Amino acid sequence: MVLLTLVASTFVSMARGTGPAGADQIADLRTEATTVSQQLIHGQLQVEAYQQQVSVASARVAADARAIAQLGAQVGQDQQQISARSDQVRSLAVRSYMDYGTGVSSADAALFSSSQEHAQVASEYSAIAVGNITTAVAELRTAQRTFQAHQAALQRQQGQDRADQNHQATFLEQANTTQHQLQALQARVTGQLAAAVAQQSAAQSAAAAAAVAAAQRSATKAPTGPPTKSPASTVPASTSTGAGSGPAPTTTTPAAPTNTTDPALNPFLQCVVQAESGGNYAAVSPDGLYMGAFQFAQSTWDTAASAAGRPDLVGVPPNRASKADQDTVAVALYALDGQRPWLGDRCVT
C-alpha cells in the first residue's frame, strides 16, 4: 500500500506543463527520476521479500503434504483396524449366540445341568465371551474416535495450506504489480527528462546560432580596419588559464579562413583574446591542451562549433581554424554559457 501511494503521488507530481524546457524543469525531472529509482529499489526488495515468504510457505506446504500423506496412511490403518474390530465383535457375538443362544442364563443352566462342573465351565465361558465382546466394542470405539481425530486434523491442515498459498500469492501479485507500475513510471520520467534536455539543447543551439548571425550582421554593417587580435570565443571554466596568466603560445600557421564574415566581438570577448593569447590566433598552450586565440579545449570547441551550426569545424584543432571561424565559435559559446567558461580570467566581471 505504501508503494502504491508513492506511485500515485509521483504520477500527480508529473502533471506538468509542456512549455519550453528550463533548468528548473530538468532539475525537477532528475529529482523525480532519482525518487522513482529509489522507490523501484524498495519495490524490488519487497518483491524479493514476498518471494522469500512464498518459498517458505511452499516449503511448509511440502512438509504439510508429507504430514497429510502420513495422516492419510494412518487413516487407512484406522479404517482397517475398525473393520477388523467390527469383524471381531461380530464373530464373538455370533459365537456367543451359537453356544448360549437359548436365552437361558448361566444360573438357570446350572440348575438343569446334569453336571455341576459342566455348568461352572459354561458360566465361566459365558463371562469370558461377554468380556471379550465388551473389550472389542471399546477398542472399536477408540479406533473410530482416533479415525475421526485424524480426519479432522487432515482437513484443518489442508485448509491452512490453501489459505497460506492464497495469502502469499496475493502479496506477491501486489508487489509485482507495484514494481511494474514503478518501471512504467521510471520509463516515463526518463523519457520526459531526455525530451527536456534535448529541447533545452536545441534552444541553446538556436540562441548560439542567432548570436553568431547577429554578430556577423553587426560586423557587416560596421566593418572595422584590418583584423587586430580582437578576441573572441572562450574556454571552459576547467580549462581557463586565468586572468593575466595566458599560456606561453607557440605559433603555427593557421588554416585558410573558411568563414568570410568575421562576427563582431563584444567587449568581454575582445578582452578574453588579449588575456588568453595576446591576440595570437595560432597560439597553443605548452601542454598542447588549449589552442587558438581563446585557448579552446578540443571538446569545448567541438560542442560550440556544433551549436554555431558549423559541423565542418568539429574535430579541427582550434589554432588551425581561421580568425573568422574562431570568432564565430567563441560568439556561439558565449551565447551558450556567458562568461562561465572563462572563470578565473581577469576579464570576468
Q: pLDDT tens per residue, the chain (349 residues)?
A: 444 444 444 443 443 444 455 667 788 888 888 888 777 786 777 677 777 777 777 787 788 778 878 877 877 887 787 888 778 777 877 776 666 555 545 555 554 555 666 656 666 666 676 677 788 788 778 888 888 888 888 788 888 888 877 877 887 787 788 878 878 887 887 887 787 777 777 777 777 777 777 776 776 664 444 333 333 333 333 334 433 334 434 444 444 345 558 999 999 999 999 999 999 999 999 999 999 999 999 999 999 999 999 999 999 999 999 999 999 999 999 999 888 887 777 898 7
**Does 155 fall in a domain?**
yes
Judgement on whether residues 169 and 296 belong to the same structural domain of the protein: no
| Cβ pair 218, 269 in contact under 8 A | no
Judgement on whether residues 81 and 188 belong to the same structural domain of the protein: yes
CATH classification of the domain holding 120: 1.10.287
b/e code 8-44 from CB counts within 10 Å (16+ = b) = eebeeeeeeeeeebeeebbebbeebbebbeebbebbe
Judgement on whether residues 158 and 293 belong to the same structural domain of the protein: no
**Does 209 fall in a domain?**
no
Residue where one domain finishes, among candidates 140, 174, 201: 201
Judgement on whether residues 248 and 327 belong to the same structural domain of the protein: yes
- Per the structure, how many domains does the chain have? 2
Helices 267-277 and 323-337: crossing angle, nearest 10°? 120
Judgement on whether residues 263 and 179 belong to the same structural domain of the protein: no
Domain of 280, in residue numbers: 237-342
